[in-house]
Amino acid sequence: MVDATLNTALRNHLGVDPNWLNLTTEDVIDPELPIVDAHHHAWDLPHNRYLFDDLVSDFQCGHNIVATVYVQCYSMYRADGPPEMKPVGETEFANGLAAQSASGNYGSTEICAGIVGTADIRLGAAVEPVLHAHLGAAGQRFKGVRPTTSWHESDQLKALATEPHILLQSSAREAIRCIAKLNLCLDLWVYFTQLDDAIDICRAFPNLKIVIDHVGGPLGIGPYGGRRDEVFQVWRQKIESVAQHPNAYMKLGGLGMRYAGFQFNQMPSPPSSDLLLEKWKPYLELCIEQFGPDRCMFESNFPIDKGMCSYRIIWNAFKKLTKNYTSSERNALFCQTAANVYRLEHILTHS
């Protein structure tokens, strides 16, 4: 379902230049505020390496990152065995990161406290053994599934899925039924052009927690380049429709991906948190307005968004966005919503 060359291109689309990132520095805002980073990755690729030491370095930059959620990124698949079971290798890898963190030798952050793996939902009901294998690999840390769904007909936007409307296939519905039965959540990365499919899933599975990644995938490149205002209006209408479903949750972040078209990486120096806030505020505020803090959670989407800004800067931007919110609203956005969705209840008692 996923072309390996395309995967590599996707994950390398924003090279991380530490020297460039260091050109813009800021003090940490509200360093005591507890944060659950609801979405990050880890991988080892040529010229793009982001592993345990890199995670620790970012999580210890001064913000109070109490826990993190690892989300699948086609990393460390098993080299052999049945094709449908190969993604279990990624869950084993993430659980290893979690175990290393749990030793207590690398700071107080619970790295990979929650793990979202992947499975081919075209398998239908036959996906259930794969889900059990994920659970066997990570136990209580395994919290959900993100299938491959992002698709667009434009060559500049084709991401991972090899065909459109996968979520509407009957086999996918059977697989999602298995996900729900095992009390897992469903993460969806879709472009704004696919949000109608996500809405259909929300309607079909009202008792399943469905997390929309990256503010619902607004686009600013390819056929959408130079059309930001027009895209925003269409995206807004679809976001308002998604938000009508109480089982839908929204991740606030991912706007540093090249698909959004902000191109901060082409600037002489990295953006400040003020510039990020200026450009991203309309998207983030609309999502919070529509979903409410209890159904929104901030994410770093590192290391992909690291091609655009540093970890310290991105969380400063989120904190500046919410500086006038109540303490309970901020707690939900930065910590509690993610802890609730990914069943990290123990985090709430210690944060």
Residue 23 lies in a domain: no
Residue 18 lies in a domain: no
The 10s digit of each residue's pLDDT in 114-131 is: 999 999 999 999 999 999
Residue 8 — very low, low, confident or very high, per pLDDT cuts 50/70/90?
Answer: very low
What one-character DSSP code corresponds to residue 302? Answer: B
Per-residue pLDDT, 350: 59
Residue 345 — very low, low, confident or very high, per pLDDT cuts 50/70/90?
Answer: confident
Chain CA centroid to CA 181, Å: 23
The 10s digit of each residue's pLDDT in 196-216 is: 999 999 999 999 999 999 999
Tokens representing 319 are: 């904190």
Mean pLDDT over each residue of the chain, to the nearest integer: 94
The 10s digit of each residue's pLDDT in 18-70 is: 999 999 999 999 999 999 999 999 999 887 899 999 999 999 999 999 999 99
- CA-CA distance, 228 to 166, in Å (whole number)? 27
Q: What is the SS3 assignment for 270?
A: coil
Per-residue pLDDT, 349: 64
The number of folded domains in the chain is 1
pTM: 0.96
* Of 10-14, 305-309, 324-328, the least confident: 10-14
Per-residue pLDDT, 160: 81
Residue 150 sits in a domain of what CATH number?
3.20.20.140
Task: Check whether 296 has a pLDDT greater than 50.
Answer: yes
* Number of Cα atoms under 13 Å in the Cβ half of residue 121: 28
Residue 201 lies in a domain: yes
Whether residue 303 is preceded by a cis peptide bond, meaning omega within 30 degrees of 0, is yes
Residue 21 lies in a domain: no
- CA-CA distance, 146 to 72, in Å (whole number)? 7
Residue 50 lies in a domain: yes
Residues of the domain holding 8: 4-13+30-350
Residue 22 lies in a domain: no
Per-residue pLDDT, 9: 41
Residue 165 lies in a domain: yes
Residue 19 lies in a domain: no
Per-residue pLDDT, 250: 99
Task: Check whether 113 has a pLDDT greater than 50.
Answer: yes
- Label residue 102 exposed, middle or buried (CB < 10 Å: 0-12, 13-18, 19+): middle
Tokens representing 86 are: 């190969």
Task: Check whether 78 has a pLDDT greater than 90.
Answer: yes
